[in-house]
Structure 1
Amino acid sequence: MTMTQKLEKGLSASATTTVTAANTALVMGSGDLEVFATPSMVALMEHAAMTAVAPALPEGSTTVGAEMNTTHIKPSGLGASVTATAILTEVDGRKLTFNVGARDAEGLIGEGVHVRYVVDRARFMAKLSK
């Protein structure tokens, strides 16, 4: 059995957070306003993508983010609830491609394409000690 047999197009998941002082552009250093930071939106999108495929991975494996091409098109203020959704659109060996999007109560705030790779946890972490 290859590692990608369980990974199929269409796998999806969502992740939700509330905009607080801790994830604003002002605190994250990506801007100077108290609005949802782009790095926070990207992290939420990555979390949704990781979660979408986690149950289908072989034991001892995980995914790591490699590429994110996204637009952040609308601000979300303090107290807003933001939900990111990731849908697996392509499986190419260890390379997984997702369509990602984020919404708040007002609608779409960001969207893009995210690439992750399936890795063996132990082998990946062993690279740090070399």
Structure 2
Amino acid sequence: MDARDFITTGMSAERTLVVPVERTVGHFVPGMPFVYATPMMILEMEMTSGDAIRPALQPGWVTVGTEVDIRHLAAALVGATVRTTAKVVAVERRVIRFEVEAFEGTRKLGEGRHARGLVNVEMFNKRLGAGSKS
């Protein structure tokens, strides 16, 4: 399958999250501040990227994250409303590349690039032995 047949540059999505305690550094690491954790920001960027192209995916196909190059620029407290954006900037045969950003209001919290690989679920599960019982 060639992603260039159905995914185009410019496709985009946006998500909004009110930061819960469970997504803060302090929740995961004792003694750390209760601010939005970098891995949680990256998770939201990945999910937003997936949202941008999901409607165009062919039946039986999904995308999985393969690369992240993210800068976390500013902290956000519990209760902050974070808006995450993703835009397709390049489409290769099996790889889709995105520019991603996160904001609290107009203040940029993070930015970078993310790539997702096109995967056939059935073949992926067979390759991993998913569903087989010992």
In the superposition, the TM-score normalised over structure 2's length comes to 0.90
Rounded Cα–Cα distance in structure 1 between residues aligned with 2:47 and 2:30? 20
Match of 1:46 in 2: 46
C-alpha distance in 1, partners of 2:106/2:55? 31
Find the residue that maps to 1:109 and give its secondary structure: strand
Letter in 2 for 1:8: T
TM-score of the pair, normalised by structure 1:
0.93
1:58 corresponds to which letter in structure 2? Q
Distance (Å, rounded) in 1 between the aligned partners of 2:79 and 2:54: 29
Alignment of 1:34-73 (within 5 A): 34-73=34-73
Within a 5 Å distance, the mapping from 1:103-122 to structure 2 comes to 103-122=103-122
Percent of residue pairs bearing the same amino acid type: 33
**Greater C-alpha radius of gyration:** 2
Q: Which residue number in structure 2 is paired with residue 21 of structure 1?
A: 21
Q: Could you list the runs of 4 or more consecutive aligned residues of structure 1 that deviate by over 2 angstroms after TM superposition?
A: 1-4, 28-31, 125-128
Check whether the contact 2:3–2:92 (CA below 8 A) recurs between aligned residues: no
User: What do the CA deviations read for 1:7-61 (whole angstroms, capped 9, x no partner)?
Assistant: 0000000111111111001113498110000011000000000010011111110
**C-alpha separation in 2, matches of 1:53 and 1:84:** 15
- Report if aligned partners of 1:25, 1:31 keep a CA contact under 8 Å in 2: no
Q: Is the 8 A contact 2:14 2:84 kept in 1?
A: yes
Alignment RMSD, CA only? 1.8
Kept in 2: contact 1:30–1:38 (CA 8 A): no
The number of residue pairs the alignment matches comes to 130
Q: Structure 1 residues 29, 61: closer, same or farther in 2, change over 3 A? A: farther
SS in 1 for 2:4: coil
- Secondary structure of 2:68's counterpart equals strand
Q: Which runs of 5+ in 2 are unaligned?
A: none
Cα pair 1:13 1:48 within 8 Å, conserved: yes
